[in-house]
């Protein structure tokens, strides 16, 4: 497995490296190939004219190497073996290009810019990356417990192609989280009174009980249709798995349930309330209300 890690020498970069070190101690078998990448500005035409493009790039390259040197003790403490690369250009396109060149299976980075006021990723370094790459991105949060990386992993299942992509990624790369992991396939159904835009009391009063019962039966059927085939794949791969059916507001249910998880896997888009999960209300709510690392699956 090849992991690309954007770094800038900040405490958040150090936190990500500690997290990767903790994951490495859990896993068995071959270690992943890790590359730290620092993105520097492309030389402006004015600077290139005055000093020469190669001289300016050499100066920027030196600045990038200073970042790696500042992180050297952290890397050694995490017991990681890494490569380093200085890239040039705008952050998103430069990292997307390097991810493709390196053949990255996963990008692991901090999540600066996440807050409930601005919105999930909006205007942030993270958004610049996610808007350009198709590689899965693991967002390590500021208060993520690096000593307990990923023993219970929740996977959001909604029947979309993004949920399918999340499952494919996990089945291909599950060894990165170690051998003592339990996966929980989470499917959220909105209750009948939300679908009908009424309160629970009103729904009963207007005699819609039979419709509500039919809706619940349909929801249970769709739950099993969504998660049972996936659970079978996990079991066939020798992975411990549970199926979880939640009822309520999607964002609120995920926030509440994720309190007992170590990592949450979400597709970047989905059906219903998972639509635009990267920039939308569900992911924003989960990110704002938890310190949980989030693996965003791109497509």
116 has pLDDT over 80? no
From the list 135, 133, 36, the residue with the least C-alpha distance to 91 is: 133
CA-angle at 20, arms to 103 and 13, nearest 5°: 90
The tokens of 126 are what?
């993270």
The side-by-side arrangement of strands in the sheet containing 82-88 is 82-88, 33-40, 2-6, 106-110, 137-140, 294-297, 263-267, 152-156, 182-189, 240-247
Q: How far is the C-alpha of 265 from the C-alpha of 107, rounded, in Å?
A: 14
Residue 184: predicted pLDDT: 95
Residue 208: predicted pLDDT: 59
Residue 191: predicted pLDDT: 82
From the list 291, 283, 201, the residue with the least C-alpha distance to 250 is: 283
| pLDDT tens sequence across 124-150 | 566 667 667 778 888 888 777 766 656
Q: What is the pTM of this model?
A: 0.81
Residue 92: predicted pLDDT: 84
| pLDDT tens sequence across 169-217 | 888 887 666 667 899 999 998 887 666 655 555 445 445 567 778 888 8
Residue 158: predicted pLDDT: 79
- Whole-angstrom CA distances from 206 to 60, 236, 281 are 70, 47, 31
288 has pLDDT over 80? no
Domain-wise residue ranges, the chain: 2-297
**Better-predicted residue by pLDDT, 41 or 272:** 41
| pLDDT tens sequence across 203-260 | 454 455 677 788 888 889 999 999 999 999 999 999 999 999 999 888 889 989 988 8
CATH architecture, range 2-297: 3-Layer(aba) Sandwich (3.40)
Residue 230: predicted pLDDT: 93
- Per DSSP, the three-state class of 88 is strand
- Whole-angstrom CA distances from 146 to 24, 109, 265 are 11, 13, 17
| pLDDT tens sequence across 28-73 | 567 889 999 999 988 788 877 888 888 888 898 999 999 999 999 9
Question: Buried b / exposed e across 212-223, counting CB within 10 Å, b at 16+?
Answer: beebeeebeeeb
| pLDDT tens sequence across 86-112 | 999 988 889 999 999 999 999 998 876
């Amino acid at each position: 497995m090849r992991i690309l890690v954007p770094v800038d020498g900040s405490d958040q970069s150090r936190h990500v490296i500690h997290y990767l070190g903790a994951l490495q101690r859990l896993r068995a078998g071959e270690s992943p190939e890790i590359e730290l990448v620092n993105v520097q500005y492309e030389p402006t035409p004015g600077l290139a004219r005055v000093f020469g493009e190669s001289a300016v790039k050499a100066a920027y390259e030196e600045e990038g190497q200073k970042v790696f040197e500042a992180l050297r003790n952290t890397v050694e403490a995490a017991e990681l073996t890494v490569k380093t690369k200085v890239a040039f250009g705008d952050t998103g396109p430069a990292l997307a290009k390097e991810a493709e060149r390196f053949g990255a299976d996963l990008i692991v980075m901090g999540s600066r810019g996440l807050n409930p006021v601005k919105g999930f990723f909006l205007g942030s370094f993270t958004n610049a990356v996610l808007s350009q790459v198709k590689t899965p991105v693991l967002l390590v949060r500021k208060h993520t417990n690096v000593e307990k990386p990923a023993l219970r992993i929740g996977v959001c299942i909604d029947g979309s192609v993004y949920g399918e992509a999340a499952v494919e990624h996990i089945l291909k790369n599950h060894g990165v989280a170690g051998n003592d992991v339990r996966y929980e396939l989470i499917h959220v159904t909105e209750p009948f009174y939300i679908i009908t835009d009424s309160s629970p009391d009103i729904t009963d009063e207007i005699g819609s009980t039979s419709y509500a019962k039919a809706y619940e039966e349909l929801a249970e059927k769709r739950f099993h249709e969504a998660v049972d085939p996936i659970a079978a794949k996990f079991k066939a791969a020798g992975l411990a798995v549970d199926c979880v059916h939640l009822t309520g507001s999607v964002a609120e249910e995920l926030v509440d349930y994720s309190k007992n998880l170590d990592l949450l896997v979400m597709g970047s888009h989905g059906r219903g309330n998972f639509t635009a999960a990267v920039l939308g209300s569900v992911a924003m709510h989960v990110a704002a209300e938890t310190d949980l690392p989030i693996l965003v699956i791109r497509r």
